[in-house]
Amino acid sequence: MHAQTAPRPLAFSAGGPLRGTVTVPGDKSISHRALMFSGLAVGESRIEGLLEGEDVLATAAAMRAMGCDIERTGPGSWRVHGVGVGGLLQPQAALEMGNSGTSTRLLMGLIASHPITAAFTGDASLSKRPMGRVIEPLSRMGADFTASPGGRLPLMERGLCPAVPIEYRLPVASAQVKSAVLLAGLNTPGTTRVIEPVPTRDHSERMLRGFGAALSVEETAEGRVIAITGEAELQPQQIVVPGDPSSAGFWMVAASIVPGSAITIANVCMNPTRTGLITALRMMGADIAEANARTVGGEPVADLVVRHAPLRAIEVPPDLAPSMIDEYPILFVAAAMAQGRTMARGAEELRVKESDRIDAMAAVLDVLGVAYQPFEDGLAIEGRGGDRFAGGGTVTTHLDHRIAMSAAIAGLAANAPVTVDDVSPVATSYPDFLATLDALREGRDEGA
């Protein structure tokens, strides 16, 4: 993982307009779940368009270690022979999660209701992230945890079978915590319920239904109630993974802030729980059109056509936070170029991501020469009104892929080059990011 490799610094500087058509990697959230749920089905599933970044490969390795037969048959094409719900085997060694919080939290849910014990380890960045929010509900279902201080990795989990169904109200909007409880419920007799006061991404619900789980979603006065009936039998599926809206966000902002740009981003997942960045950018005046809207594997998908447009400052609605939590770093770059003062609050979750993304992006704004005011839950940013950033400094990424890519995009609109201290973390979610950027700068379609 990154911690052991030598840093790869790289400078990014302004050039001509960005042109062409790109495809972004398969959606990371959907890729993780496609592997896990296929591994719990009885029979053979096939997956196309899987994101082959390091995070998703950590999920594949963990499912393999617990008895699933998983084989890559070509670029993005995978075959999974599942063991059935309840059929996971005791892994013989620790499950190495690398940098992937999603793999860790969802697999903790899966294992909670299986009669097996597993150790989880991760890289330096993941080992700082809190797992207590998942440990708490899973312990109520009967799983037993021995974690490092502060509820962190490395940790040991002992599942209970049969586990105890619970009703759990999410104290913090988190699709990962919700999914962990639902996955534990898959092999738990009776009905497990999660109450979600604020809706979060619903890929687990859509895909579990597609695999044949008995799952219902009800809107109530308390929020959304998701109920899953356990001891499910999942049916194998053919899954096509749509493009990741979080990865698409970098190109949406790049085309918006580099004059003369016009790009098409093909096959983007348009799930309404994931399109907060598109909503925010359109409020700022971004020119983003949808073409060829369709449904693939229960998920809405479209091609996005983005052209350069002058952006204006907004107050980002806090209720957009759950649907764009991963996109705040690149939104901050758009705000830095806009006319006026953008206020983005309600995103305290950013403090516990791969890095403290509020502090990390404030340091990027320093390099760009953009004034800002930090808050515990976000930033107020004084935009440049379309004038190029100053640039000329080095950004510290803290091994965070989204900080690295956001700083790279900012460099495309800076007077002096912006140096990213290490571009290697980009491989966790977007292995082809640099190649795609080169293609757009040369005005050719990716891969052409």
* Residues placed in the known binding site: 28-29, 33, 101, 129, 174, 176, 326, 353, 357, 402
| Region of residue 177 (left: phi > 0; alpha: psi -120 to 50; beta: else) | alpha
Q: Roughly what angle, to the nearest 10 degrees, separates helices 276-283 and 328-337?
A: 10
CA dist 89 and 108 (Å) reads 14
Cis amide prior to 162 (ω within 30 degrees)? yes
Q: Which of 55, 303, 326, 432 is catalytic?
A: 326
How far, in Å, CA of 369 to CA of 389, rounded?
A: 6
Phi, psi of 317 (to 5 degrees): -60, 125
Instruction: Report the DSSP beta bridge partners of residue 268.
Output: 243, 302
- Locate 175 and state its tokens: 């699709």
Question: Do 355 and 329 touch, CB atoms closer than 8 A?
Answer: no
331: Cα separation from own chain's centroid: 15
Q: Which residues make up each annotated binding site for phosphoenolpyruvate? A: 28, 101, 129, 176, 357, 402
Annotated binding-site ranges for 3-phosphoshikimate? 28-29, 33, 174, 176, 326, 353
CB 191 within 8 A of CB 230: yes
The verdict on whether 202 is a catalytic residue reads no
What would the two tokens of residue 426 be? 């980009």
Which residues are the active-site residues?
326
